[in-house]
Structure 1
Amino acid sequence: MTDDEYAAALESERAERNARTKYMVREDDDAFQLVRRNGAGMGWGVNRYISRETADLAAAFLNRLKEDEA
């Protein structure tokens, strides 16, 4: 395997891992719930926020952190 093939394989694996999990915000009564969704579309609540801006910021941060770890 050449260096270019190895780099392409790593990038493909990273992209696949990133596609599996995503953090998103869902409106829930009088609050906003941070939800973690897996590749199968199943989701579960992680935390609740009063402010939409704070919930969006947390989701963006976690999604970016997930990308950096992959």
Structure 2
Amino acid sequence: MKKEDQDITLLETDVSSNKDFKKDSYKTTNVNILLNRVRLDKKRSFKKRIIISFFLVTIITALTVYFIV
């Protein structure tokens, strides 16, 4: 004689495990990783601004020296 209750519970556990698998498959990102990325982007943009301003000051100084002398 078969136990019908056992068959039903096995089927229900398979469905529930599939639901858990679907939930776990979503990709999540840690907030600290995002904040660190923003900080690094700010540092990079600040370095770029410093380098560009240094080159502009150098070019302006070179041109004024050339035209004065």
TM-score normalized by the length of structure 2: 0.35
TM-score norm. by structure 1 comes to 0.35
Give the number of the structure whose residues are more often strand, by fraction.
Answer: 1
Say which structure, 1 or 2, has more relative contact order (CA 8 Å, 6+ apart). 1
- Which has the higher Rg, Structure 1 or Structure 2? 2
The structure richer in helix per residue is 2
